[in-house]
Structure 1
């Protein structure tokens, strides 16, 4: 932590998508309650970003944590497949697994490369071949790719916080 006159500064490393969509929008209340603390937010896309810089704290997935770090569990993630709304002919339409594998390009997040394997395993589906398809560093990039509907269509597994608000 660095100190400025009467102000405490905390250097916080955070996943870019989490910081943009949850942390920053929710800082207002913290700032009201703690006017003497400034939080500097730094992008943390992978574990190397954390290990190569000096931060006071980080908010990251457990699999990014180093074995010697102190950890506090914040919330559970749920893996959900997403696709462009234009790919479904009816609202609430459900897709069969063979449709997922044969008709859609499976997109991957580089920092969660096993996302599809996790989702299929949680769905009780044994080891489909799901490693093909483009990879994106950031979740926001992955979502943009899904929205742009490249090729035959794209679908991606994303994690959604149980505490999304």
Structure 2
């Protein structure tokens, strides 16, 4: 079926003229004559059956319909340009579009990616934040790193590591002590994580302490947000130490209690079944699992 799409040259001319609200400036930008711009836009208006500009002796003024259409066209042209530059830049290399949970991506994965680049310069890895599972068929992602139980239909899971969060806080909260027991922590503001709503309850249960307010307190979606809130003395947070190594080394955060919360859930690399034979994904997956195995956590039950 033939698509009902205007010519690309007409859309480019229109977007430029709409942005400048001037046929003359659009002609200068595109190295065309003003009459060529006029013809392109007139043909687009005929195609659409909609007036995009009001013409007068003093110039042109974009209509409401033209303004609305120009915004949509600009977004689509930007997307086409990005895709074009991306494919031009590949020059025979393989590209992996990876969805990754944000803090894990920035704090653990990115510091190790130089090693992958050096070993496999033929593979380009693009990272995009995603905090929850999605349908691969509805996206351009080739794989994902997420935290959960690996129950993701249509995918193959590669286990990386557990989380093992511990209570952390600003040094001032210790008040000169080396550590705080569970009862002392229960008296402090508890910073909650949106995606781990029962974490504090589970931690206190492990310590055999009943805390009525274990699910109260401000909620944040990302570990990086929890860390910043804890640094600014807003409360105590349950965070995996490997995600805040720099903050711990610099003394901005301290471990309030070394009891780690264990869980059956873990970080996994998820690859759609239909892509498991892709060479670049196999290469990345093998490297990632190797990196995770090298990184030993003291409380990891894997």
Q: Which residue of 2 aligns with 1:108?
A: 192
Do the aligned partners of 1:9 and 1:38 also contact (CA within 8 Å) in 2?
yes
TM-score by length of 1: 0.82
Of 86, 95, 101 in structure 1, the residue corresponding to residue 180 of structure 2 is 95
Do the aligned partners of 1:77 and 1:159 also contact (CA within 8 Å) in 2?
yes
Shift of 1:122: 3.0
Structure having the higher helix fraction is: 2
* Aligned-partner Cα distance in 1 for 2:142–2:229: 33
Q: Which residue of 2 aligns with 1:16?
A: 102
Q: Which residue of 2 aligns with 1:81?
A: 167
Do the aligned partners of 2:102 and 2:131 also contact (CA within 8 Å) in 1?
yes
Q: Which has the larger radius of gyration?
A: 2
* Aligned-partner Cα distance in 2 for 1:14–1:75: 14
* Aligned-partner Cα distance in 2 for 1:67–1:129: 36
Do the aligned partners of 1:44 and 1:50 also contact (CA within 8 Å) in 2?
no
* Aligned-partner Cα distance in 2 for 1:68–1:128: 40
* Aligned-partner Cα distance in 1 for 2:225–2:103: 9
The answer to whether the aligner puts 1:157 opposite 2:221 as a matched pair is: no
Structure having the higher strand fraction is: 1
* Aligned-partner Cα distance in 2 for 1:51–1:14: 17
Task: For residues 62-108 of structure 1, give each alpha carbon's deviation from its aligned partner in whole angstroms, at most 9, with x where no partner exists.
Answer: 2475244311111122120111111112252x223232222x11001
- Highest RCO, 1 vs 2 (Cα 8 Å, sep ≥ 6): 1
TM-score by length of 2: 0.47
Gap runs ≥5 in structure 2: 1-85, 243-291, 298-302
* Aligned-partner Cα distance in 2 for 1:121–1:142: 21
* Aligned-partner Cα distance in 1 for 2:155–2:231: 37
Shift of 1:117: 1.9
The answer to whether the aligner puts 1:121 opposite 2:202 as a matched pair is: no
Segment of structure 1 superposing worse, 66-75 or 76-85: 66-75
* Aligned-partner Cα distance in 2 for 1:130–1:19: 29
What number of residue pairs does the alignment pair up? 159
The CA RMSD over aligned residues, in Å, is 2.7
Q: Secondary structure at the match of 2:209?
A: coil
